[in-house]
Amino acid sequence: MMKRIFVSLVVVLALIVSGIFWYGNQLGSSLPADIGRTAGATEHATDLNAEIVRGAYLARAGNCMGCHTTRGGDAYAGGRMIASEFGDFVSPNITPDKKTGIGNWTFNDFWNALHNGKSKDGRLLYPAFPYPSYTQISAVDAQALFAFFQSIPAVERKNQPHALRTPYDQRGLLAFWRALYFKPGEYQPQPAQTVEWNRGAYLVKGLAHCGACHTSRNALGASDLNNELGGAYMPVSNWYAPSLLAQDEAGVQTWSAAQLSHLLRDGISVRAHASGPMAEVVASSLQYLSDSDIQAMTVYLQSLPKVTKSKADLLDQALAGPAAGKEEMERIMYLGGALYKFHCIDCHGDGGRGAPPAYPALQGNAALQMTSAANPVRMVLAGGFPAATKGNPRPYGMPPFAPTLSDTEVALVISYVRNSWGNKAPVIGASEVNRYRTAPLD
């Protein structure tokens, strides 16, 4: 009797697993039925040249070059390594080369990859290619993108295999991931919102895929849609993409529209500078968007609900150790203050007020006061520049202090600025600085 029950349970479990596997494989098998039907896109251009120009603009908006071009390499020929906690992904060649690129692809093949996460040969694509966001791209915009990619110079460059850890190198397991976490579907406009708001939502959620960095992920790399744009650590690059909702982090709802538009388009504003990976996004993508699209993104982002604390900040606070005692705090403020006066005061000023936008203010700076000190530590160690843009053609940069300051000294000066001029944030130690000293630069 027990044996029959066991066999029955095994059969049922096998059927469930097979059903999930089948569902994950079949998910997203549709092709666009009506090229002209979807919202959020610009009017479809019948002239091929105009469509190619529009596709080039959309490729910029999606920052396709950022992943599909190696530094100093041929545009869109792939080969850039994208490190992750699951191993290293290598971007493919998407030039129209018939041997190694997508020269033999049809539009339906391209749509299947963009919208459904499936390659021409039916293989399931890893979500390092952000098709969970790109699935929202409209069919007319997908067609313009395809026309553009078919028009660029063909480059023969063989695709390299990914170097993933087991079991993530078993592509068949993606069927289960898709069944749990992927839902294909073009962006559907909200009738109660304006055309401008819907355009901004379409760009932020889909083509610009802002959530790929600013939304936290679970252990299997799936975005936490209950915390969309709520901030996320990027464990391999060791940067933190701040919450766009939390008022203790980026909290863009309280900015003026001009301040946020200025940051998106030019990489600087009196409120913040785009640094690290965000500087690259501005340099390669956002600065090329039209004023109307930047304004649409601004309208959408500023309409999002405000929260007081980010989830990441609350978690850090729960895990944080005891605060520094009075004597220890006095020591930090004395020694850190001396370092600040020697290394930082010329640019950031005696009262931490800086000279925005060239030299950002440290007084009241939300990026300095997040519980996580990852970004300030990275900036002090490695330095950096905002993006060079039309609105900021000669950006002022911060020199690297890694060759000059020890881990202890970096911890002291950062703890000092995080607790001066009304700022309030946890102090950090040398061990926290050391983990970022050899971190990759991007």
Tokens at 195, concatenated: 């055309």
Q: Indicate if 155 and 50 belong to the same structural domain.
A: yes
Residue 186 domain-assigned (yes or no): no
The pTM (predicted TM-score) of the whole model is 0.86
Q: Indicate if 258 and 307 belong to the same structural domain.
A: yes
Q: Indicate if 140 and 243 belong to the same structural domain.
A: no
Q: Indicate if 108 and 216 belong to the same structural domain.
A: no
CB atoms within 10 A of CB 435: 12
Q: Indicate if 255 and 331 belong to the same structural domain.
A: no
Q: Indicate if 290 and 425 belong to the same structural domain.
A: no
Residue 187 domain-assigned (yes or no): no
Kindly indicate the confidence band of residue 41, based on its pLDDT and cuts at 50, 70 and 90: very low
Kindly indicate the confidence band of residue 310, based on its pLDDT and cuts at 50, 70 and 90: confident
Q: Indicate if 219 and 283 belong to the same structural domain.
A: yes
Q: Indicate if 118 and 209 belong to the same structural domain.
A: no
Q: Which of 166, 305, 164, 325 is nearest to 228 (CA)?
A: 305
Last residue of a domain, one of 128, 154, 181: 181
Averaged pLDDT score across all residues of the chain:
88
Q: Residue 384's beta-bridge partner residues?
A: 398
Q: What is the 3-state secondary structure (H, E, C) of 163-206?
A: EECCCCCCHHHHHHHHHHHCCCCCCCCCCCCCHHHHHHHHHHHH
Q: Indicate if 18 and 154 belong to the same structural domain.
A: yes
Look up tokens 């925005």; give the residue. 356
Domain span at residue 118? 2-181
CATH of the domain at 348: 1.10.760.10
Helical residues (DSSP H) of 285-370, grouped into ranges: 291-303, 311-319, 326-343, 345-348, 366-369
Model confidence at 146: pLDDT above 70 = yes
pLDDT in tens, 399-420: 999 999 999 999 999 999 999 9
Q: Indicate if 239 and 384 belong to the same structural domain.
A: no
Which pLDDT score, from 0 to 100, does residue 322 have?
Answer: 61
Q: Which of 28, 264, 265, 60 is nearest to 144 (CA)?
A: 60
Q: Indicate if 141 and 24 belong to the same structural domain.
A: yes
